[in-house]
Structure 1
Amino acid sequence: MTARVVVVGGGLAGLTAACELADRGLAVTLLEARARLGGVTFSFNRGDLVVDNGQHVLLRCYTAYLDFLRKIGVAHHIDMQPRMHIPVQGVDGTPGSLSRTALPAPLHLLGSLATYKLLSPADRLRAARAVPAMRRLNPADPRLDEQSLGDWLRAHGQNDATIAALWNLITVAALNCDADEASLALAAKVFRTGLLDRSENCDIGVPAVPLSELHGEPAMAYLQAHGAQVRLHAPVQEIRRDDNGFEVVTGEDTIVADAVVVATAADAAARLLPDVVTDDLGHSPIFNVHVVFPRRVTDLPFVAVVGSPVQWAFDRTAVSGLTEGQYLAVSVSAAGDWIDLPVPRLRELFLPEISRVLPGAAGQHPTDFFVTRERTATFRQQPGSGRRRAAQRTGTPGLVLAGAWTATGWPDTMEGAVRSGQNAARLLSEQLPAPVSEVAR
């Protein structure tokens, strides 16, 4: 008999696990409480605009995530830079950039660092001297998880200027916290894997279609084409273990399964499995300020900003379907001090900043201004978080966890989520009998 697997949760982790298990010929049922798939990556309509709930980018080192997109047939919808190039704007208007060359790592970044105008020559030298030490760090060393990146940087000659204008430019975006609050283990993973180990790893990709067209919708089609059942509006209330397997209780019925993947957010997993998920990792919020201008403001696809609430600004015009003017999305990470401010206050704060950073916006009256908030965007990736992340393999055979918050060794990113889904499918495949057709081969 074909093994029956229930996947609880339709975010990237659950979608990946479900697709992998369906590929193996198992009878997969995916349960999602919401009316859509995609988890915290989704789109919605606002008038004629198609809006993503938040701006997501990837690096070429996101190999598992890119494999997932290829599997569901949408990898061609990623605009990937041939070589990493980040335009950077200083608070005083000083332009700069971080780019790579074709040289092998870490030489690929040294030319850009040597001419980085947002740091003095002395500070550029300080930053360059820290690079070899960062490359020697082992992200898997548990001792690194007990330290902050900020403490390590200062111990290696970095001052406030280098941390603000260089290290935090990456840290805040990648870990959703600044260097003083970031686990050194996770920071080492970001800087080594993303920037320093291989030159091409740091190339940046941006979705060219709305997130729902990149994740939820094509994954739904893939699962249905491979015989999986997908049920929306199906919140799971309880998971029971019995002698024959599992019973997954929803608001409407009870599903019998031989194995279960719990791929929900951490707090939801703790409610379903209080004996398995016990540590509270906390949350770090992200919000996006969305502004539509009647005329174009910039020709840059995106720009990073130092010393301003406008951390990163992205041109969303084409992907949103806008045909006149320009639509910018300003992504603000580590947003604990901002997340609950009302929209009028955010408008009062951000419109002058956008005009200062991007002078093309000065004098324009936006035709639309709105805010999207993700209060639980990531777990708090602080020192000590690594030892508190739940293992994907539980003590119960046939029950595994998935999610970017589990112990993948990666930060809370799309790559981490997909890797957790792949790991969950592999763990169950080791425990369940192979389908008859696979045995016959």
Structure 2
Amino acid sequence: PADSRLGLAATGLIDCYTLAASDYITARGGKVETGRNVSRFLIQRAVAAVEARPGRERRTGLGAPVATVYDRRTGIGAHRAPLQSHPEVGVCEGVELTEGGRIEAGVVLSAVPCFQFVELLPGDLLRSEPFFERIMALRPAPIISVNLWFDRPVVGNDFAGLRGTAAQWLFNKGQLLRHRAGTLAPREGSRSKASPESGKPSEEPHDWSGAYVSLVISGAHAHIGRSREELQALALSELRELVPGAGDARLVHALVIKERLATFSPRPEAEDARPSATTPVRGLYLAGDWTSTALPATIEGAVKSGYTAAQAILDAD
């Protein structure tokens, strides 16, 4: 269709999104701090603070959105979920850092995954406030990536969707990232236990097109408990069954990456647990692909959530 497009990243997602976002913020007078971990939100729940505004409510939402506000310039929609009235249960005054100290702010926008977000909340608030308690109903969906380096090209396509196999996707990483040829060689320090003992891999620039591939298993509940050796053997078996020339190639190196909390599991009941950008805590807002975007766990959903959260903050002013 003319209104759809399939894109493949030609670089790592950090280069694709994070660095550009950092440049955008700093160019407009903002400050980006990395390497600093947040241990908890600073939420003031004093009785006096809450009772000072009797009847004050926060308009929040849970579940699928029913309205979309589109930015004509970007074409990206900011969703507004069905709004419900919740008593204001506190005020967020900033964050506390793991290494000590705090950062005070009038607005805190949390964009961490749902499983990390709930760990930053006070335990009593998580247990007593239904808005936050429902988030705990979201379940993780693991993803496994098996990266294989061969002594010769084994695939020609940039990528392929797979059927009848444990892996759903095959990516020709050497071809997709060919402009980074000098960084694609497997490093000795990253050698997995399952890798063949073939000597130290070359660090010299090399064209790995077709010779460096990645097989991806999404929703890998049935496989996440398997050893890396088993997963490597499974990926090799499936690749050699699907690609005739792969059986003659020698495996140089392998790296298995298991992400147990890669995304949330988009089960039907999960929609009722996905929150709006606005929370019952004044000054605390949410963004992330797990919030109420009407999309599964995708980059598109994450981008929409960012627009929605920004609009919610502007509306609050």
User: TM-score, length-normalised on structure 2?
Assistant: 0.69
**Residue number in structure 1 paired with 2:22:** 220
**What are the within-5 Å matches in structure 2 for residues 6-405 of structure 1?**
199-242=1-44, 246-251=93-98, 252-273=100-121, 274=126, 275=129, 276-279=131-134, 280=136, 281-318=138-175, 319=177, 321=181, 322=184, 323-325=206-208, 326-405=211-290
Per-residue CA deviation, residues 71-119 of structure 1 (Å, 9 max, x unaligned), is xxxxxxxxxxxxxxxxxxxxxxxxxxxxxxxxxxxxxxxxxxxxxxxxx
Per-residue CA deviation, residues 194-250 of structure 1 (Å, 9 max, x unaligned), is xxxxx2344311001122211222222222222212222322223234569613221
Distance 2:167 2:304 in 1: 31
Partners of 1:291 and 1:366 within 8 A in 2? yes
Per-residue CA deviation, residues 107-164 of structure 1 (Å, 9 max, x unaligned), is xxxxxxxxxxxxxxxxxxxxxxxxxxxxxxxxxxxxxxxxxxxxxxxxxxxxxxxxxx
Per-residue CA deviation, residues 337-386 of structure 1 (Å, 9 max, x unaligned), is 11222221122222121011011211111111111121111111112111
Deviation at 1:419, TM superposition (A): 0.9
Distance 2:254 2:281 in 1: 49
Distance 2:215 2:312 in 1: 39
Partners of 1:265 and 1:403 within 8 A in 2? yes
Distance 1:417 1:233 in 2: 22
Tell me which amino acid in the other structure corresponds to 1:219: A
Deviation at 1:311, TM superposition (A): 1.8
- Aligned partner of residue 248 in structure 1, secondary structure: strand
Partners of 1:246 and 1:258 within 8 A in 2? yes
Q: CA RMSD in A?
A: 1.9
Deviation at 1:271, TM superposition (A): 2.4
Distance 1:340 1:245 in 2: 39
2:274 matches 1:426? no
Distance 1:271 1:205 in 2: 34
Deviation at 1:256, TM superposition (A): 1.9
Per-residue CA deviation, residues 291-322 of structure 1 (Å, 9 max, x unaligned), is 11111112211111211123211111141525
Q: Which has the higher helix share?
A: 1
- Aligned partner of residue 217 in structure 1, secondary structure: helix
Any unmatched runs of 5+ in structure 2?
50-90, 185-205
Partners of 1:261 and 1:400 within 8 A in 2? yes
Per-residue CA deviation, residues 14-49 of structure 1 (Å, 9 max, x unaligned), is xxxxxxxxxxxxxxxxxxxxxxxxxxxxxxxxxxxx
Change (3 A) 1:316 1:268: same
Partners of 1:236 and 1:249 within 8 A in 2? yes
Distance 2:220 2:281 in 1: 38
Partners of 1:397 and 1:431 within 8 A in 2? no
Distance 2:163 2:3 in 1: 23
Partners of 2:40 and 2:120 within 8 A in 1? yes
Report the identity percentage. 29
Tell me which amino acid in the other structure corresponds to 2:107: A
Q: How many residues align?
A: 234
2:297 matches 1:412? yes
Distance 2:155 2:92 in 1: 58
Partners of 1:287 and 1:372 within 8 A in 2? yes
Change (3 A) 1:369 1:392: same
Distance 2:219 2:103 in 1: 40
Per-residue CA deviation, residues 256-314 of structure 1 (Å, 9 max, x unaligned), is 21111122111222222324421220101111111111111122111112111232111
**Residue number in structure 2 paired with 1:166:** none
Distance 2:297 2:167 in 1: 22
Partners of 2:109 and 2:287 within 8 A in 1? yes
- Aligned partner of residue 367 in structure 1, secondary structure: strand
Distance 1:247 1:332 in 2: 38
Distance 1:305 1:330 in 2: 10
Partners of 2:109 and 2:285 within 8 A in 1? yes
